[in-house]
Structure 1
């Protein structure tokens, strides 16, 4: 495949020359270094570049550079036939689902459009009809097909974590006075872990806060996880950094308050700046403590002695006010996988075999739309009413179906 060269100052440059600037423009935070979109776009651009160089695809695929030329792919090699070939490659690659193929192609198409604006390309070849022709049609997945925790699932999971936390806390608070110090610490740690899990589940189940607004996102430095000074248990509110890139107050309904109060009392954070949901990862905490204690002047042997006095590094961090990072969004998913299995939650979903964090938000959206309508639900979900109507259109369709049924029954009665 030997596309005609395009004119322009930048068309002879390597494709990769544009990536850093493009990803910076699409990234979030200071310097554009963060954000899930940036991470996903970088991954797909790397795959596209490998394919263009002949490193992906069928055995007979040699890339977009003419066989007699030894160089990296450049913008001069791109035209709509290249993007058509890539669309065909995605369609047949790794058995990807239809909507996944569409998503992967959109990342490349967005980059192509940016390159037009920046002078790397003459035209948006990726959006031409012939280029997009091999892409599959939408697979028909509707918003209502996305996971949403049902009332039964929510009650099953919250009952399980509540009972688990109550038992762990009672075991800790009723220990005999003569209990060995390390044994008491181990029991407190288990109570803390159970109380943390309960608080996390209740927040995800009832607040409709996005998990990325609640916990740390390693790809977005602005999302460092909610801290205790951003929660008001008296007012029932929590300050979060919203998807719309600004701070806002989220509601903490009554079911959430008791688990948070109990958890906070048990943790007794040294300062209000501690994360509400700190990581319990042993490797992360061990590295943090060694570095912080070494910076304070302790020698390695003294650090080891101090760590040996505590059953878990988290307890030493609490004692010394060495603030750990918040758990990550991936950490929350792992916890929910474990709790969904341990709590024997009945799940029947094509994509998830556990109650995923976004399902808690969608579940609350379902409840609010059905109980109070789209306007109230939109305010609680921090979305526009238009987006909520689109996202929960299956509810309106069902309600309209009921109206149509009633109308038909009324007509039938009149005829009789």
Structure 2
């Protein structure tokens, strides 16, 4: 891109480039999905509001206050990014790592603009622009919780007890029980065994929650299905963070809960999601639209629904496949079962045992038991990243070595 080409593009409004940038950074067909795209879109809109003077202190006029036009690339220099860094770092309760994360979205867009010829230099990364950013402590927001062995055992014991009670209630119903009452008991048992299976998967497999549940922002992550789970071989196929399918291990504690859950659920096909949604509105739409597509009248659909205690049971009976539980739904399940248990959670960000905490907790176990190389393979991460994230373990071990050495020195 020549200097003249850049000059010809500097009169473009900033916001006019957002859609193209987000499409390039998005995932899936057409670049419409992905958490990065969603988060970047939010921060770019905030940046656009700020440069117009619509966000910030009352005395902030924007970067083109005396004109009646949209700010353009010609208005951008390192002083603008410096002011935006100062705005983010202001006293708004944001942690230092969050400030750096928000600024990084805008900085990445700036770098893309250089490559596309809208800017002649990456001004957001110049030292004068980044100077107001607070010192980065190196931590990632929300990535510090790790389930302790005591928390893991307490939560899994809780969901196991709840599931056993629900199954015993269902299987112990006497003959002649009203079909709707039997259906309600079966529904409660399915829900409890689904929750148990999900908790055990999160607690012991170290998979990312987006690898087993549905991410509405990424069409490729539609939730693991039964044909991708092989309990006999102890593995399941998941779509990894590195954008490819790969096998994840199912250790022994997970096998039993998955087997018992599948037996009770009895999915009509292997293409059913392992963790279907239990959202009543969603399931109502699934069965209503599905039966209508098969030629059933509204009255016939109403009769079929009345025959079943819950729409999930009708979906199972008619093989109307529901969508998987979403990642947010999975977090709500973990929040619900944590609150119902006697687990103590002391964490500044999460008041429940969050999914990433289960993964991080297993990482702790693996590093301590087998070292960084084995842990990296199990966690589907590079050894360098695992060493960085679990460096406190090595530091503690080195501290023990130092203590032992001091004890052996004869002063």
Q: TM-score of the superposition, structure 2-length normalised? A: 0.97
Deviations 1:142-161 (A, max 9, x none): 89981110000000000000
Contact 1:143 1:392 in 2 (8 A): no
Aligned pair in 2 of structure 1 residues 7, 28: CA closer, same or farther (>3 Å)? Answer: closer
1:3 matched to which residue of 2?
Answer: none
Q: For 2:48 and 2:270, how far apart are their aligned partners in 1?
A: 47
2:53 matched to which residue of 1?
Answer: 54
1:400 matched to which residue of 2?
Answer: 398
Deviation at 1:140, TM superposition (A): 6.0
SS at match of 1:248: strand
Contact 1:216 1:225 in 2 (8 A): yes
Q: For 1:344 and 1:75, how far apart are their aligned partners in 2?
A: 56
Deviations 1:173-231 (A, max 9, x none): 01001110000000000000000000000000000011010100011110000000000
Deviation at 1:66, TM superposition (A): 3.5
2:260 matched to which residue of 1?
Answer: 262
Contact 1:88 1:134 in 2 (8 A): yes
Contact 1:144 1:394 in 2 (8 A): no
SS at match of 1:8: helix
Of the candidates 284, 287, 307, which is equivalent to residue 286 of structure 1? 284
2:29 matched to which residue of 1?
Answer: 30
Aligned pair in 2 of structure 1 residues 222, 174: CA closer, same or farther (>3 Å)? Answer: same
SS at match of 1:92: coil
Contact 2:142 2:349 in 1 (8 A): no
Q: For 1:97 and 1:391, how far apart are their aligned partners in 2?
A: 19
SS at match of 1:195: helix
Contact 1:276 1:326 in 2 (8 A): yes
SS at match of 2:237: strand
Q: For 1:101 and 1:185, how far apart are their aligned partners in 2?
A: 51
Task: Tell me the matched-pair count.
Answer: 408
Contact 1:208 1:381 in 2 (8 A): yes
Q: For 1:95 and 1:107, how far apart are their aligned partners in 2?
A: 19
SS at match of 1:20: helix
Deviation at 1:388, TM superposition (A): 0.7
Matched, 1:335 2:344: no
Aligned pair in 2 of structure 1 residues 142, 105: CA closer, same or farther (>3 Å)? Answer: closer
Which runs of no fewer than 5 residues in structure 1 stay unpaired? 1-5
Matched, 1:41 2:40: yes
Deviation at 1:94, TM superposition (A): 3.1
Contact 2:143 2:357 in 1 (8 A): no
Q: For 1:408 and 1:376, how far apart are their aligned partners in 2?
A: 31
Contact 2:143 2:356 in 1 (8 A): no
Deviations 1:46-72 (A, max 9, x none): 1000111111111121211141x1011
2:150 matched to which residue of 1?
Answer: 152
Contact 1:143 1:393 in 2 (8 A): no
Displacement over 3 Å in runs of 4+: 139-145
Deviation at 1:7, TM superposition (A): 5.3
2:92 matched to which residue of 1?
Answer: 94
Contact 1:143 1:391 in 2 (8 A): no
Deviation at 1:44, TM superposition (A): 0.3
Deviations 1:282-340 (A, max 9, x none): 01111122111111112222211111111111000000000000000000110111111
CA RMSD of aligned residues (A): 1.6
Of the candidates 205, 208, 214, which is equivalent to residue 210 of structure 1? 208
Which runs of no fewer than 5 residues in structure 2 stay unpaired? none
1:118 matched to which residue of 2?
Answer: 116
Matched, 1:325 2:323: yes
Q: For 2:140 and 2:230, how far apart are their aligned partners in 1?
A: 37
2:172 matched to which residue of 1?
Answer: 174
SS at match of 2:89: helix
Contact 1:144 1:392 in 2 (8 A): no
